[in-house]
Structure 1
């Protein structure tokens, strides 16, 4: 016997081929997930690059802190208004065509932001960007639910949403480099930033028409036995769910559990949104250069990307959602309190890092829990509604309030509303009854 060969344990026959489940989920994840992650990466680069652009743009356009917050918040107001209709239209036209429409339109608007000349034009473009992107995230969450059984969803959603911190990690130094193109071809650095970073979603939107399928039954790249197994598994789990099944949108909006989920999500969403726009300016106030600001801004997002994926995997393996959602929210609140109380730049930066890591680790378990709470036709409107309300509260109300406090009182109290919202979110989470029976993992649930 070769010295490098490990003897087979007695009584254990070699599996002649990978299990049907393992092979199916590997094939699906490798086909769908990387492309959707890249799409979401492009979305968040263009949603959040306003924070880095502000290092030059605010002075060019004469924006005060309150004006900058107002312009940034209009994205989320439009997002709120168009989120649910967009997700319902996706059900009508199909994910492949509708997601392509979303990406192409937001790419064009993002590039158009390079040519704004005043506060009014910036506000109009941010509103249009929110309207263009509305429906992408809840549409993808709903789409992933049609491809991945429940025992995979926290890790899959966590891997997908890792594009959010990864976008900041990648775009912060990239944006800093683009800002240094100031004057090239007669354009300011912030104009090059919007032009270059808006091109990615435009190209991805065109690719979407060729790479995605609306359901397993339409996936020609899956063998027939794998298509049949996946369709049966998804259908069976849909019947098992004991979540909200309201068919009427009006009845759905009267469901208390939906509003609790929206409050919980608002706490993490607001923390990520406010820091995404304001953290570069906070770090720049420490005396850092533009490139140093970009690198310092990127570091916590790199950690958050790794933690987000590992935490989602741990939630799936334990089939536990509530505490896997609560612990990151507690970390988020603790980081905000540290940032408020610290006086040295190192302490403030540590608090900001804790807040960002907690706000992103939260997402995988939370959305897996939310997907389990909603079923039937309620899922499309419910997931979109939770996401829309959380974006309105975080990106509309809290972002404007933080900007006003920053202008009136400086950085000291600007993060206080976030800390209060995190406390309310934790209380709502601990009192939430999901009413969902999680399916046990299959024999190949470690495939991903």
Structure 2
């Protein structure tokens, strides 16, 4: 009878936490990613207006991740000090303000400075939310919960692509360019949602008014037991994150995913534009196709990972889909077979977004407490250097060769290398994870 009661209580508590927390977390990350990548759609007219070369645009897109890298770990440690509600709200309001400020860049220098500041402002949001989810959802639910949260990325691009290109049509209104309206209209909601986050999101189960005392005690007990088990093996000190080899291996693997993701999303509208006489609106809808497909990949990989308890296997499959999809896309782009290239990019999209759930379920198997906060932030900050590598290499290669094909080959090849690392990771750590 006690077991049945606990099962019922678990189902009720997880359902409540999901309904109360996930909608605003999902929407917040949609805004985060949209404010990060809307530069790729603004570039359809912004590059000409400001006389930016593909190479400089690539550097400007990528320098976001230098600011992100420098401030990521300190930000996540401050989250543990001030609490998730206050700190995540502060991050959102700050990056929303900087995003609106992107509307007023005047040339090369201001473009680079504002992109750097945007990265510094957003630093800590993603690892902060991943850490926040560990405060609420036991290990057995995390892959599927993370997969739902990760829907934000393809959704932000699937919805943001036609929205952003439509906003370019406001060109001339109020004496502003269309790309200026794009930054303003897409930046303001982030500030508003940041204020809402501060008002409604509880830090931990004990702060949730929508859980009764029995539900709070049960959920916190399960989470504390899991944390204690991990702490006995790995410890909770910040230094443990720096010492644990899995942190560094995961960070290198994550670089490949971010490089592919940001490199592709930063230039896909321009790649499509060079393949035919498409209008900006048509480019927006074509760009959205791989990201709609990516939604399916994110959900499928998340639920399959939880069902079969094989995060390493599904991680490997996702990486291989990414690499092969991008390599074939480069070949098809060179043949000007745009329809087949978009299909191949969509396969890569399944891998890129399917990667997230099995990948981000791994750190909390090995780290907890301050070590988890530091480790997750380290993995994310180091991995996000790929956000500088991807656009910079593609922009450089485009200016040097006149084609984006070699850039796509580079993205795909890096993913194939990461697949080899994931095989090593699986061989070394999967038995430990299964024992846990």
Q: Counterparts of 1:101-120 in structure 2 under 5 Å? A: 101-120=90-109
SS at match of 2:349: helix
Shift of 1:244: 4.1
Instruction: Give the equivalent residue in structure 2 for 1:290.
Output: 280
1:204-243 matches, within 5 Å, as: 204-241=193-230
The structure 2 residue matched to 1:191, chosen from 180, 183, 188, is 180
Q: 1:352 Cα deviation (Å)?
A: 1.6
Alignment of 1:259-278 (within 5 A): 259-278=248-267
- 1:81-160 equivalences in 2 (<5 Å): 81-160=70-149
Q: Where do residues 224-373 of structure 1 align in structure 2 (5 Å cutoff)? A: 224-241=213-230, 244-245=234-235, 247-249=237-239, 252-287=241-276, 288-342=278-332, 343=335, 344-373=337-366
Kindly indicate whether the alpha-carbon contact (under 8 Å) linking 1:245 and 1:377 is maintained by their aligned counterparts in 2. no
In 2, Cα distance between equivalents of 1:126 and 1:203 = 21
Structure 2: segments with no counterpart, 5+ residues: none
Contact 2:241 2:367 in 1 (8 A): no
Residue matched to 1:407 = 399
Supply the distance in 2 between the matched residues of 1:230 and 1:219 (Cα, whole angstroms).
11
Determine helix, strand or coil for the equivalent of 2:289.
Answer: helix
Q: CA deviation at 1:243?
A: 6.0
Report the CA distance between 1:371 and its aligned residue.
2.2
With 341-350 and 165-174 compared, the bigger mean Cα shift is at: 341-350
Contact map agreement 2:322 2:352 (CA 8 A) in 1:
yes
How many aligned positions are there? 424
- 1:50-89 CA-to-partner distances (Å, cap 9, x unmatched) read 0000000000111111100010111100000000000000
Q: Alpha-carbon deviation of 1:166?
A: 0.2
Q: Give me the whole-angstrom Cα distance separating, in 2, the residues matched to 1:256 and 1:98.
A: 29
Q: Report the counterpart of residue 446 of structure 1 in structure 2.
A: none
Compare 165-174 and 261-270 and name the one that shifted more.
261-270
In structure 1, the residue matched to 2:32 is: 43
Aligned-partner Cα distance in 2 for 1:422–1:132:
29
- CA shift, 1:314, in A, is 1.3
Is 1:381 matched with 2:371? no
Per-residue displacement from partner, 1:203-227 (whole Å, max 9, x unpaired)?
Answer: 0010011111111111122111100
User: Does the residue aligned with 1:63 lie in a helix, a strand or coil?
Assistant: coil
Q: CA distance change for structure 1 residues 357 and 102 in 2, over 3 Å: closer, same or farther?
A: same
Match of 2:9 among 5, 11, 20: 20
- Please give the TM-score of this superposition, normalised by the length of structure 1: 0.91
Q: CA deviation at 1:395?
A: 1.0
**CA distance in 2: counterparts of 1:154 and 1:248, whole angstroms:** 24
Aligned to 1:429: 422
Equivalent pair of 1:150/1:438 in contact (CA under 8 Å)? no
Deviation (angstroms), 1:438 = 5.2
Matched, 1:77 2:57: no
**In the aligned structure 2, how far is the partner of 1:61 from the partner of 1:352?**
29
Specify the SS of the correspondent of 2:202.
Answer: coil
Are the aligned partners of 2:267 and 2:391 in contact in 1 as well (CA < 8 Å)? no
Residue pair 2:60, 2:112 contacting (<8 A) in 1 also: yes
Deviation at 1:276, TM superposition (A): 1.0
Q: Please state if 1:174 is matched with 2:166.
A: no
Counterparts of 2:117 and 2:370 in 1: how far apart (Å)? Answer: 28
**Which residues of 2 match residues 58-77 of structure 1 at below 5 A?**
58-77=47-66
Query: What is the CA-CA distance between 1:374 and the residue it aligns to?
Result: 1.9
* Cα gap change, 1:349 to 1:437, in 2 (>3 Å): closer
Contact 1:331 1:358 in 2 (8 A): yes
| Contiguous gaps of at least 5 residues in structure 1 | 1-14, 441-448
Show structure 1 runs of 4+ deviating over 6 A. 15-18
| Residue 254 (structure 1) shift | 4.2
Q: Which has the higher helix share?
A: 2
Determine the C-alpha separation between the residues in 2 that align with 1:244 and 1:286. Answer: 52
